[in-house]
Amino acid sequence: MKLGFDNDKYLRIQSEHIKERISEFGDKLYLEFGGKLYDDYHASRVLPGFQPDSKMRMLMQLKDDAEIVMVISAEDIEKNKIRGDLGITYDKDVLRLRDIFTEWGFYVSSVVITHFNGQASAVSFRERLERLGLVRVYYHYLIEGYPTNVELIDSDEGFGKNDYVETTRPLVVVTAPGPGSGKMAVCLSQLYNENRRGVKAGYAKFETFPIWNIPLKHPVNVAYEAATADLNDVNMIDHFHLEAYGKTTVNYNRDIEIFPVLNAIFEGIYGESPYKSPTDMGVNMAGFCISDDEVCSEASKQEIIRRYYAALCSLTDGSKDDREINKILLLMKQMKLTTAYRRCTVAAHERKEKGGTAAAAIELSDGTLITSGTSSLLGPSAALILNATKHLAGIDHNLKLIPQNMIEPIQRMKTSMLHGVNPRLHTDEVLVALAVLSQHDDNCKRALDSLPLLDGCQVHATVMLSEVDRKIFKKLGCGLTFDPVKK
């Protein structure tokens, strides 16, 4: 995979910048983490070289000074809101993330349940956490007129009504399973309640996207708009920053729209605001670590199209309407992109037209296109992985890596014993067979050893893939799209 992002530089300068921000305030900094603190796959796709766990590795350098507060909305608990990329509910993800953070050696001090209005499911979740004895749990309540009713917000009946979250370390990282959880409100509530106790606490925001110091219509920033099309986020020039400093920076609409309110809240707490713009609040240094703009631009264009296909498939599944599709189509038009920009998409469609069956294609890192079709033994995804690894390992395409007499018993088990409908092997089954055969077959071993070379490659299929196949391509690091066509 061609790299466009200097991850080592990022780890170094990002932690240094956060330390500087902590020193600007008296006793404590509440750092709101927008986006994913862990497993940030969007960032790793649009900034090749950015590791999904980079933010965690960066925070490791501040571990002794940091504690983590996790935020979840009572409304999301009540609705059983699902984290789309993992397929699990937000309340389950809180437990998952808590375990991950603890395994990394971080101190997870508490969970805050926001938007609390007596929801029974939220009460049950709190009781469950307390029974497990994992963390302390606090309630933050709905405030009528939030965020515009500043007089009520900055009062004993507003932030003063919330539970005070006890923290002990100078850096408090506030994170959540997903957007809309109330992270910012938790930070502001803590500033209010810390101030009442004589503690001079500060606030900053860590939001990777949009990247503030690259152009508004840079493909990396446009890819962020595509990723948040369901939220209708829009990247904008931060006019507050432009007016204050004469410098053009990029932020997104929600932060810009709410900044006057935040300023008023800061003034109510401190007497004056420490910031002149939404950009001032941020601490993100990712823009300084782009080492190859062309590579990141190309990866971002692929991501925009990938998001378009994902939205099409969500519409086909009935999980979303066409508003997200229309938003991404507009972004593609602005970037002068069509689906034909993905060479693997064109190749997959050509293979389907030629063979008359569902097909798939992959563009390798050197630009080589490999295609596959559907057979009685293999689905297009499984066949594609075999074809691609044979090419990478220099193995004759006509050579059968997995003999038919090994595939057929697996098919019989799937249909006769497990009562499956589709006898064709999926990608995971092909890889297991390849791994077994690699113990005594040099060609299979060479093919298996070439799998890491698929990282960063682009894949397209002409049918909607099974969840198993999707996960395999994700684990291999492939950028996957597929047509909104059910088998």
Distance CA 292, CA 3 (A): 7
User: In this structure, what token pair is assigned to residue 350?
Assistant: 């050509």
- Residue 456: count other Cβ atoms within 10 Å of its Cβ: 21
User: In this structure, what token pair is assigned to residue 340?
Assistant: 């034909």
Q: What is the pLDDT of residues 319-346, one digit of tens each?
A: 777 899 999 999 999 999 999 999 999 9
The DSSP result for 269-300, as a single string, is: HHSS-S-SSHHHHB---GGGGBS-HHHHHHHH
- CA 342 to chain centroid, in Å, comes to 22
Q: What is the pLDDT of residues 136-171, one digit of tens each?
A: 999 999 999 888 888 899 899 999 999 999 999 999
Q: Are 239 and 251 in contact (CB under 8 A)?
A: no
Q: Are 96 and 205 in contact (CB under 8 A)?
A: no
pLDDT value, residue 141: 96
Distance CA 307, CA 301 (A): 10
Average pLDDT, the chain: 93
Per cent of the chain over pLDDT 90 is: 74
* Burial class, 349, CB count within 10 angstroms (exposed 0-12 / middle 13-18 / buried 19+): middle
Q: How many CA atoms lie within 13 A of 125 on its CB side?
A: 29
Distance CA 385, CA 396 (A): 14
Distance CA 349, CA 180 (A): 39
DSSP state of 88: E
Q: Which pTM was predicted?
A: 0.89
User: Residue 232: which pLDDT band, with cuts at 50, 70 and 90?
Assistant: confident
Distance CA 404, CA 375 (A): 12
Distance CA 212, CA 193 (A): 31
Q: Which helix (H) or strand (E) holds 180?
A: none
Position 84 pLDDT exceeds 80: no
Q: Are 173 and 69 in contact (CB under 8 A)?
A: yes
SS3 content of the chain, % helix, strand, coil (to 5): 50, 15, 35
DSSP state of 135: S
Q: How many residues does the chain have?
A: 487
The DSSP result for 450-465, as a single string, is: TGGGGTT-EEEESSPP
pLDDT value, residue 176: 93
Q: What are phi and psi of 246, to 5 degrees?
A: 70, 20
DSSP state of 231: G
pLDDT value, residue 418: 86
Among 45, 44, 50, 43, which Cα is nearest to 8's? 50
Average pLDDT for 379-387: 96
pLDDT value, residue 109: 96
pLDDT value, residue 318: 80
Q: How far is CA 68 from CA 98, 108, 391, in A?
A: 9, 5, 47
> Given the structure tokens 């152009």, which residue do they identify?
215
Sequence-ordered alpha helix ranges (H) in 61-156: 74-79, 90-103, 120-132, 150-153
What domains does the chain contain, in order, with CATH numbers? 7-212+253-289 (3.10.630.10), 342-482 (3.40.140.40)
Q: What is the pLDDT of residues 405-447, one digit of tens each?
A: 888 888 889 888 988 888 888 899 999 999 999 999 999 999 9
Distance CA 191, CA 438 (A): 59
Distance CA 187, CA 431 (A): 47
Among 62, 76, 151, 65, which Cα is nearest to 111's? 76
Looking at the DSSP assignment, which residues form a beta bridge with residue 136?
Answer: 110
Q: How far is CA 226 from CA 160, 208, 241, 311, in A?
A: 38, 15, 25, 10
User: Residue 87: which pLDDT band, with cuts at 50, 70 and 90?
Assistant: confident
261 Rama sector, left if φ>0, alpha if ψ -120 to 50, beta otherwise: alpha
DSSP state of 414: I
Cis peptide before 210 (omega within 30 of 0): yes
pLDDT value, residue 321: 79
Distance CA 218, CA 300 (A): 9
Position 69 pLDDT exceeds 90: yes
pLDDT value, residue 189: 94
